[in-house]
Amino acid sequence: MDIQKMIRELEDERDRLDEAILALERLAVANRARGRPPRWRKELAAKIAANPETMEAAPPRTKKPQDIS
């Protein structure tokens, strides 16, 4: 087993992982909301502001008892 070859392969893998991490970090920064919100979001906000009762919380879910026959 050639230890030097193993070290080179591990260093190459480390470099690829560093590049992948850097790319993901850049994506995380780039995905911040910018500019004007979409029209549907603006319309929804106006609808909610006009009638807040329409956005009541949903009733809590309950599990149905299972039939153990």
pTM over 0.75: no
Residue boundaries of the structural domains of the chain: 7-49
- Per-residue model confidence as pLDDT tens digits over 33-56: 667 777 877 887 888 788 766 556
Give the pLDDT score at 55.
58
Distance between first and last Cα of the chain: 62
